[in-house]
Structure 1
């Protein structure tokens, strides 16, 4: 038998918080940019399903950002990606999701599974000595969690910083205090952060965040962690000879890099097109319409004809088309945005969706298609009215309520579910070749 590959060691840090909106992405980006500027290779990962933070983290670090989730991507996938990163990185950073102990599995579960030291970013707005109580609670709540320390964010002044640290227990390290700074704050909209390609001054914000990191103890590398490889079976080339046309622009950008890499590993040839630019649809055997923000570009998508004609001809030829969330909305008869304006869209999937002010779907889910299960997540503010009967429904990772509907209409498979393709390569291949 061949020898098992040896573990790889690399300094690593897991940035988390007591809740969302504490500034994790801003400071993780600043930390990545600071160390990149020192000439180090920085690899960043994002906990859980997320399409928005990773593009900002990618710009900060200069390397692709992959998702880690013990349920959606699986422990073996997480293990192998960390091992691969440790092969060329000088520093591995993992940005957590929500609060440290939120969700099942949580950021704490992920950090503990791989032994990565945890740094808690705490928004100190409106807080003084209670900062120490929050820090103590995070550090001591779960015995065995490799807790590295805390960082005070959005600090008002030097005097405020003094008060924050007054009651901090001995043995609990504060790695620094970061002043409140609008110039580095990342803008948000209804699905989270504004996309990286839409923030004109993103570079300046990253540099400002890096400058704040320069005044903290995070200039020193964290401890080196040993990462073990996972053992995976070789992938069958189930998509050899299949060319897949993939929508990619500001309206359709919610794609896991791992999804595209898996399609290529299965043998597919990928070609990209922009519905916003009204590109001609590339000659292809199958189409992938990922999620994004069609509601923000409704007038343009409604007016563009060349892409629409190509997609209609593709479906008329009975070729596979797989659409997720925003991609599914593009297929509908019509979509109404938050201002109440309605635009006619492709008319390939009967129905009308309306953008609401409250979340209509959120959480990890899995769907069984043709006997194979794909895992993923859902996150949307639109509600769909359609006469179509669902082919099936996804199952939630936790809870008993039914998950998202999945529709099969001719050669189209569509759902609000965002699938993580590496969770099942066989199921993925069938999306682009049709049912057996």
Structure 2
């Protein structure tokens, strides 16, 4: 049984610097010639995109609400096999889950046996981090906190106080990230900036350079090296002769890696662009994932050929699955934040709007036909009231088992919702069967 570094990057809370450190570490290890496999705790589909850009390898979601523990372990083993190091970015605070610790980074660290490196915000504090660190180390014996990296450190003298706190708390100090405006991440309403004006490679290289100078990465790797029992798995085998088309461009790109792999097992996958292609490719099923359609409304509206092609396909009974931004594209219109209305595919007789944006997020469970299907919702847009009665299926619950008003629309063979579903474990055919009204 071989050994390799498993790293879980956790924190006391969101905003501590997990993502900055993760991206810098991924790029630094890649620059050292290591093959890095990134993972992300929880349902986030934006951080994984940036992991891939930093590491040169697609990231994989590890989520114990949407998938079984056995599936999560299998994913880690399968994707980690060919790597030199596995780096997992946590979600929120280390112990924050949808129900106590359930679904938390700590739960996944225990499930797989990943050592935890904390990233703590040291702004406006010094020796007080000692009891914080002591608590993280001793609160839950099922995980192993091996060290800490401090963020927003004002000076070498400041770090010396933090090192003293680490010594007294019994947690190894692995280094720090200084206050530096050049490594502040631009953000937008759904996560890190993906605007063209933001040069991601320059940013990632800069963070990697800083980390290389102020963090003992060699010691971090040493502390996190554990036995790895994963075995090489065979390449994905296509079990079907269907052609499955996936929308993928700047407007539509929020998708779980394992969902796509499940589609590849079900048929031949082809990608197309609703922004640039003039019509749908020949397909037995079309998947419109979420993304940022609101940033490309003029281009989507101007591509009348694609809009007509999508509408014709749906009206003729074509199988379509649309999530969040993909569902919005199937609506009659999308209104931008300034009130300007853009025509969309016109399949669902309703409009979506970015006006009066309000965040709606959380895990979702659809209960339909005695079955349960899980996913996640995260958006700022909303559907406008309409007199049209589009059929809906199932009853939707959140992680606290409370009913929520997030419809799953069905029209002919179209299934559309704000929910990002996860079928990476059960497979797309089983998922569609469960969601079928027939």
Identify whether the pair has TM-score above 0.5, normalized to the shorter chain: yes
Contact 2:363 2:377 in 1 (8 A): yes
Q: CA deviation at 1:90?
A: 1.5
Contact 1:243 1:269 in 2 (8 A): yes
Q: CA deviation at 1:210?
A: 1.0
The CA deviation string for residues 176-221 of structure 1, in whole angstroms up to 9 with x for no partner, is: 01112222232211111123x8464111111111112212122332
The alignment status of 1:68 with 2:62, answered yes or no, reads yes
1:391 aligns with one of 385, 390, 393: 393
Deviates more, 1:157-166 or 1:144-153: 157-166
Which residue of structure 2 lines up, in the alignment, with residue 4 of structure 1?
none
Alignment of 1:228-243 (within 5 A): 228=229, 240-243=240-243
Q: CA deviation at 1:93?
A: 0.8
Which residue of structure 2 lines up, in the alignment, with residue 263 of structure 1?
263
Alignment of 1:273-288 (within 5 A): 273-288=272-287
Give the match's secondary structure for 1:31: helix
Residues 356, 118 of structure 1: alpha-carbon distance in 2 compared, 3 angstrom cutoff: farther
Deviates more, 1:389-398 or 1:57-66: 389-398
Give the unaligned 5+ runs of structure 2.
none
The alignment status of 1:38 with 2:38, answered yes or no, reads no
Alignment of 1:170-181 (within 5 A): 170-181=169-180
1:15 aligns with one of 4, 9, 14: 9
Which residue of structure 2 lines up, in the alignment, with residue 28 of structure 1?
22
Separation of aligned partners in 2, 1:364 and 1:307: 32
The CA deviation string for residues 93-149 of structure 1, in whole angstroms up to 9 with x for no partner, is: 110001111113211111112221111111222223333333233222223321111
Q: What is the aligned-residue RMSD (CA, Å)? A: 2.6
Separation of aligned partners in 2, 1:431 and 1:351: 26
Q: CA deviation at 1:434?
A: 7.0
Separation of aligned partners in 2, 1:213 and 1:205: 12
Which residue of structure 2 lines up, in the alignment, with residue 380 of structure 1?
379
TM superposition score normalised by structure 1: 0.90
Residues 389, 85 of structure 1: alpha-carbon distance in 2 compared, 3 angstrom cutoff: closer
Q: CA deviation at 1:61?
A: 1.4
Q: CA deviation at 1:250?
A: 1.0
Contact 1:375 1:420 in 2 (8 A): yes
Separation of aligned partners in 1, 2:226 and 2:197: 34
TM superposition score normalised by structure 2: 0.89
Deviates more, 1:383-392 or 1:146-155: 383-392
2:149 aligns with one of 135, 148, 151: 151
Give the match's secondary structure for 2:91: coil
Give the match's secondary structure for 2:66: helix
Contact 1:359 1:379 in 2 (8 A): no
Which residue of structure 1 lines up, in the alignment, with residue 115 of structure 2?
117
Give the match's secondary structure for 2:76: helix
Separation of aligned partners in 1, 2:81 and 2:268: 28
Separation of aligned partners in 2, 1:50 and 1:127: 30
Contact 1:406 1:413 in 2 (8 A): yes
1:48 aligns with one of 42, 46, 50: 42
Which residue of structure 2 lines up, in the alignment, with residue 96 of structure 1?
90
Which residue of structure 2 lines up, in the alignment, with residue 141 of structure 1?
139
Give the match's secondary structure for 1:93: strand
Deviates more, 1:152-161 or 1:390-399: 390-399
Contact 1:392 1:407 in 2 (8 A): no
Q: CA deviation at 1:257?
A: 1.5
Contact 2:262 2:428 in 1 (8 A): no
Contact 1:32 1:61 in 2 (8 A): yes
Separation of aligned partners in 2, 1:433 and 1:405: 13
Q: How many residues align?
A: 425
Residues 364, 429 of structure 1: alpha-carbon distance in 2 compared, 3 angstrom cutoff: closer
Deviates more, 1:336-345 or 1:41-50: 336-345
Residues 33, 279 of structure 1: alpha-carbon distance in 2 compared, 3 angstrom cutoff: same
Contact 2:42 2:103 in 1 (8 A): no
Separation of aligned partners in 1, 2:335 and 2:307: 18
Deviates more, 1:394-403 or 1:95-104: 394-403
Which residue of structure 2 lines up, in the alignment, with residue 3 of structure 1?
none
Give the match's secondary structure for 1:71: coil
Which residue of structure 2 lines up, in the alignment, with residue 163 of structure 1?
161
Residues 405, 360 of structure 1: alpha-carbon distance in 2 compared, 3 angstrom cutoff: farther
Contact 1:286 1:433 in 2 (8 A): no
Which residue of structure 1 lines up, in the alignment, with residue 226 of structure 2?
225
Which residue of structure 2 lines up, in the alignment, with residue 430 of structure 1?
432
